[in-house]
Amino acid sequence: MSASPLGKALDRVDGRDKVTGRARYAADFAAPGLLHGWVVNAGIPRGRILGIDSREAEAAPGVQLVLTHANRPPIASYDEPYEDADAADGSPFRPLFNDRILYDSQPVALVVAETLEQARHAARLVRVEYQAEPYQTDLLAALDDAHLAPASLPEPRGDCAGALAGAALRIEGQYSSPIEHHNPMEPHAATVVMQPDGALLVYDKTQGTQNSQQYIERVFGLEPGRVRVMAPFVGGAFGSGLRPQYQLVLAVMAALKLRRSVRVTLTRQQMFSFGYRPRTVQRLALGAAANGELRALRHEAVAQTSRFEDFTEHVVEWSGMLYQCDNVELGYRLAPLDVYTPLDMRAPGATLGVFALECAMDELAAAVAIDPLQLRLVNYAERNQNEGKPFSSKALRECYAQGAERFGWAARDHQPRSMREGRELIGWGLATGVWEAMQNPASARALIDGDGHLHVSSATTDIGTGTYTVMTQIAAASLALDMAQVTFSLGDSHLPKAPLQGGSFTVSSVGSAVQQACIALQDELLKAAVAMEDSPFAGLARDQVEFVDGQLRVIGAPELALGYGEIVRASGGAALEAEVEAKPDEKREAYSSATHSAVFVEVRVDEELGVVRVARVVSAIAAGRVVNPKTARSQILGGVVWGIGMALQEETQTDHGLGRHMNHNLAEYHIPVHADIGEVEVIFVEEEDRVVNALGSKGVGEIGIVGVAAAVANAIWHATGKRIRDLPITPDKLL
């Protein structure tokens, strides 16, 4: 019997297509007579368009159209805008809606020409006259204008104020984080192919083909079925593709107006003209007994949002669940600015909130004079106090133990500035990570053909996480087939329904649907086999047969067997199939489910230059069953690298005098490169969870980044004795 591929570190089934260039992305698809669009962006952060002079651009060679708010096609839902699946409270931004300028670099026109070069040249000839209005883009200047976020925060528990006042030890601090932009390798693009009957075939950079499809249908008033959205490959997204971005709307507008196929691709600079991780200011107060036991915790955050939407994420809730504490008060406010709405970015909310919490816990450990790891064990939470529920599984203690052993944490001298090598100060820091383990309804179809080949499909996407591969593994294991006998299709809005790919819930959601569809297909195979003439399975029930090595067999009589293809051919049809919608099991409701991690970091700081080098990272992850340790490890590695960048480099800098981002490129927007990253070791801690879903999987996409920035900051304190609470920790803050 062939071994199950579940849990095996297998190569990506799409890897060869990617490295040989056969994989095609949103801007790679051609169409006869394809036109190219170039976006013209606003030059002020707030005001009104007085006029757009496009005459010179329209006269330029190859130009077919200069699209503005004055000549756009009629749009069905612009007066009552349709909210996409990842929408925030408020009114979504509507490209080319009217003459209002809501933020800097807002799209104000689209130049469409025969070639990309012609469109780019003509876009420079468009003249826009503005009436500027007063604006504010600085969160720190708008803190007093902040209002309560539309978030369902846990109710305060206990008497936080009284417990803080009576605590033997008290730690208070303000922590801040900057704007960050996603910057996936593939820029956002949409290729809209006009079909002969007027239907639209759209290739979009998206994390949800059906979300983009429904958005187009609603916004443009198109009949269901007239739009098909494809995203067979996505070159990274990190959350930037959760909502339909403006390149999609503009490309569809131009295609409908011209009745031609149109492609719009954003430049790297334009990738800074929509969603981002919001800037935050957080205040944390911890009250503790002399031994470090938490007596009170108050966590308040203020984040920026746009004036037209209230973007809300889970920033402070983690502080109410990660450690045992009976007196907790959480607060979250939003400050509206003249900016675009923020957008979910890898581990949204947790990346920010856990940074503040874990730095504060490190400060408490220093005040108590206790090992930071021991402090976390003293305050270990066996239940999620926010929900009053036990965890479906929680192997965080094992993460601490295995990570500490691999890192050599026991040799740490607790005094800051106590470890040195040459001109470098050495520091060791740690932090805890947490992320909710979610599952959403999802559907999948499983079809077996006359050759015994299994075809499984769902409308989900693969943003580089390895979805093609893990779904193939799940399907192969469910029907006892070799991987080569399975083909998984995704990235097509016409396939069975799937949620957005994000939140680390794709394996839990779509993987459960794939597993259940294959199990349902087993029943179809058995029915067909029983109905065969002179069937060896006549009268046998489901528990009397087994599915092994591509065959249906009688248990205890392996000589009585039929191959799947043989059964299909005998049934008289081309294939047998089953489609299933998988939903979270009701037994989940009694539990809280989460992934956890322990991150250990060694930094080396040049005392004279203030330059920080991350020499070692050990990340121990408890995420239930890991379907593919190889692709999962890559996810954690990517999260660790991003966490290092968040700690030391990453920051979108805004000139508040102009209301404009200054470093909107990859030369000045600093992110880590290979030379910045030292040794990174990933440990997957064994964790069995029979509640979260039948696969026992919790997902790993988000947890890899959570806690990393805090661990780096804590290591820097240990190395230098300087507590930096303002990210990123650049050399000027250390000197």
Q: Provide the residue type at 667 as one letter.
A: A
Q: Does residue 431 contact residue 627 with C-beta atoms inside 8 Å? A: no
Cα separation, 345 vs 418, in Å, equals: 37
Phi, psi of 319 (to 5 degrees): -70, -20
Q: Provide the residue type at 404 as one letter.
A: A
The DSSP call for residue 508 is I
> For the chain, how far is it from start to end, CA to CA, in angstroms?
63
Q: Does residue 395 contact residue 596 with C-beta atoms inside 8 Å? A: yes
Give the residue ranges of DSSP H helices in 244-395: 246-258, 350-368, 372-378
Burial class (CB in 10 A: 0-12, 13-18, 19+), 197: exposed
Question: What's the sign of the alpha-carbon dihedral 518, 519, 525, 527?
Answer: negative
Backbone dihedral region of 699: left (phi > 0), alpha (psi from -120 to 50 degrees) or beta? left
Cis before 728? omega within 30: yes
Cα separation, 472 vs 457, in Å, equals: 10
Q: Provide the residue type at 259 as one letter.
A: R
CA–centroid distance for 564 within its chain: 38
Cα separation, 735 vs 730, in Å, equals: 9
Other beta carbons less than 10 A from residue 143's beta carbon: 13
CA angle 369, 427, 724 (to 5 degrees): 80
Q: Is 541 helix (H, G, I), strand (E, B) or coil?
A: coil
Non-local (6+) Cβ contacts of 127 within 8 A are 52, 53, 54, 56
The β-bridge relationship of strands 654-655 and 660-661 is antiparallel
Other beta carbons less than 10 A from residue 173's beta carbon: 15
Non-local (6+) Cβ contacts of 450 within 8 A are 565, 568, 569, 574, 575
Q: Does residue 156 contact residue 300 with C-beta atoms inside 8 Å? A: no
Paired tokens of 131: 């009436």
**Quick one: which of 512, 408, 522, 491 has its CA closest to 29?**
491
Strand-pairing partners, residue 554, are 545, 557
Catalytic residues: 702
Task: Please name the residue that has the structure tokens 């489609």.
Answer: 579
Q: Is 579 helix (H, G, I), strand (E, B) or coil?
A: strand
